[in-house]
Structure 1
């Protein structure tokens, strides 16, 4: 079983090595990640930098650096909450929304191109296996947390 886990972990981990941001000229992988998180907020969505840090699992100083770069490119803007000036919200500019749509289209095209090279039943089976492994792993983590 130890060997099987190591094989699975290696196979899953190698996807982190894919630099999908190479498909999006002009965006680093951190900018790609932060813009994706903001896009998920919806058209009128605003998010704080601490919420972005939590969502992207990135340290706040790194998110701040990334936001500065995105601001310089004209993709995001910050606004201070008029009711509570301690809160600063980040949102996409019109240029940011256009870039976001471009990113979404390119990623969808990329995903479809990759997945079209596999049989649908193989994809369904793989997804079912990964979902099941995830459920088991989640339960195992919970059990071990309670033991400690």
Structure 2
């Protein structure tokens, strides 16, 4: 079983090695994800930095670094809320909107090309299996939270 477990995680991990960034020389994976999050959720085209951090599941300092780079390249702009100066909104510039749409189209074309080479029924089964394994693993991690610290205290 250990060998099978290792093979599963090796197989899943190799997807992280794919160089998607070679299709998008202007932005890295994090930039792309943040741009898409802004485009998808923005209220009136805007989203607060705290809401963006929550939706992107990123820490505020990481969001700030990413936004700084995107802002320097002219893809986003920040605006302080005049009614509540504690809130800063982020929105895509026209260049950011265009880049995001082009990147999404590239990803869509890429996905369609890959998927056209795989049997649909096999792909649906694979997705179902992976979702099931993910949920089992998620529950197992939750059940094991803190066990490492308890074992350390027991050995002291």
**TM over 0.5: same fold?**
yes
Which secondary structure does the structure 2 equivalent of 1:86 belong to? Answer: coil
TM-score, normalization by structure 2: 0.81
On the 8 A contact 1:38/1:46 being kept in 2, the answer is yes
- Name 2:137's counterpart in structure 1: 137
Q: How many residues align?
A: 148
Residues 71 and 101 of structure 1: is their aligned pair in 2 closer, same or farther, counting only changes over 3 Å? same
Which structure 1 residue ranges, 5 or more long, are not aligned?
Answer: none
Is 2:73 the partner of 1:73? Answer: yes
Residues 146 and 68 of structure 1: is their aligned pair in 2 closer, same or farther, counting only changes over 3 Å? closer
TM-score, normalization by structure 1: 0.84
Give the CA RMSD over aligned residues: 2.3
- Name 2:85's counterpart in structure 1: 85
On the 8 A contact 1:21/1:32 being kept in 2, the answer is no
Inter-partner Cα distance in structure 2 for 1:69 and 1:125: 40
Larger radius of gyration: 2
Inter-partner Cα distance in structure 2 for 1:140 and 1:22: 36
- Name 1:35's counterpart in structure 2: 35
Runs of 4 or more consecutive aligned structure 1 residues displaced over 2 Å after TM superposition: 42-66, 141-148
- Per the TM alignment, residue 42 of structure 1 is displaced from its structure 2 partner at its CA by 4.6
Inter-partner Cα distance in structure 2 for 1:13 and 1:51: 29
Inter-partner Cα distance in structure 2 for 1:42 and 1:87: 14
Which secondary structure does the structure 1 equivalent of 2:86 belong to? Answer: coil
Q: How does 1:1-148 map to 2 (within 5 A)?
A: 1-42=1-42, 44-145=44-145
Inter-partner Cα distance in structure 1 for 2:142 and 2:62: 30
